[in-house]
Amino acid sequence: MFRHAIVRRPGATFAQGLTRVELGPPRLERALEQHRAYCDALRTCGLELTVLPPDEAFPDGTFVEDTAILLPEGAMLTRPGAASRIGEVASIRVALAPHYAALAQIAAPGSVDGGDICEAGTQVFIGLSHRTNEAGAEQLARWLHGHGYTATTVDVRQLDSILHLKSGLSFLGGRRLLLIEELAAHPAFAGFDRVVVERDEAYAANAIEVNGRILVAAGHPKLEARLRALGCELVVLDMSEFAKMDGGLSCLSL
Ligand code: CIR
């Protein structure tokens, strides 16, 4: 059961953030509307929100997921793999302090982006990507083992279609994973029920399960129909402006 989430509104410098996709510049007003709808959806799922104000010094700061790994047992601040994002962690440390007695942190030369970390019950998948390196993955795996979790690394460095592991993988609760075709046959996911997203709807592989509902990006009717047929209760959200900055639903909250 999730009770609380931390989000940060996008700010005036949002369009200056990092992106590998060529979907044009995001419109801030629209991004703010979409962010409000996202926050409303989380509240509908029963969450209390901490909404942080934009920080213009960090154009990618709205993608708070990348700055920490949160478990019921403890929290680990990351060391983001993009130099321009390392400074985002300081204000997240402050926001997390009331919720955790102690905060661990990934140390150099390790780097970890939260977008590479997929928790599936007591099993955690750690993506090795162009943001999360071996040293970071090892530090995180040790910390996870100490809390009773199993960690499995999944190398996605050759997959140009995704920035982070979770751009192509989501845990939907129970034993169910949502994943892109390129990851579908990976041995790490063999014991799970796999819902494979078709190539032309690959962006929708980043979804989030919150207290029994699934938040899914709008514009992917085939996946929507399949998830509804499986009995999932969906909340469909327009993510167009965040997609332009290479972000998805999971990236926007901790
Ligand atoms: C970046 O490239 O770092 C941001 N523009 C997007 C980060 C998306 N975060 C995520 O998938 N967890």
**Complete DSSP assignment for 98-120:** TT-S-EEE--TT--B-GGGEEEE
Output the residue whose Cα is nearest ligand 1's atom 2. 18
Looking at residue 200, its pLDDT comes to: 98
Looking at residue 120, its pLDDT comes to: 97
Q: Ligand 1 mean position to 174 CA, how many Å?
A: 26
Q: Ligand 1 mean position to 246 CA, how many Å?
A: 6
* Ligand 1 nearest-atom number relative to CA 115: 12
What is the rounded average pLDDT of the residues 6-32? 97
* Ligand 1 nearest-atom number relative to CA 167: 11
* Ligand 1 nearest-atom number relative to CA 163: 11
Looking at residue 100, its pLDDT comes to: 96
Cβ neighbour number for residue 252 with a 10 Å cutoff? 26
Q: Ligand 1 mean position to 231 CA, how many Å?
A: 30
Q: Ligand 1 mean position to 20 CA, how many Å?
A: 10
Looking at residue 130, its pLDDT comes to: 98
Output the residue whose Cα is nearest ligand 1's atom 3. 18
Looking at residue 140, its pLDDT comes to: 98
Which of 134, 130, 80 minimizes the C-alpha distance to 105? 80
**Residue 71 β-bridge partners:** 74
Q: Answer whether 253's CB lies under 8 Å from 211's CB.
A: no
**Residue 8 β-bridge partners:** 52
| Residue 214 backbone phi and psi in degrees, to 5 | -120, 120
* Ligand 1 nearest-atom number relative to CA 59: 5
Summary mean pLDDT of the chain: 97
- Ligand 1 contacts (CB < 6 A) are 17-19, 60, 63, 65-66, 82, 85, 114-115, 163-164, 167, 245-248, 251
Q: What band does 241 get if pLDDT is binned at 50, 70 and 90?
A: very high
Catalytic residues: 164, 251
Looking at residue 33, its pLDDT comes to: 98
Which amino acid type is present at position 211?
A: N
Output the residue whose Cα is nearest ligand 1's atom 1. 18
Q: Ligand 1 mean position to 190 CA, how many Å?
A: 27
Encode pLDDT of 173-210 as tens digits: 999 999 999 999 999 999 999 999 999 999 999 999 99
- Taking the complete model, does pTM exceed 0.75, yes or no? yes
Q: Answer whether 206's CB lies under 8 Å from 183's CB.
A: no
Determine if the peptide bond prior to 98 is cis (ω within 30°): no
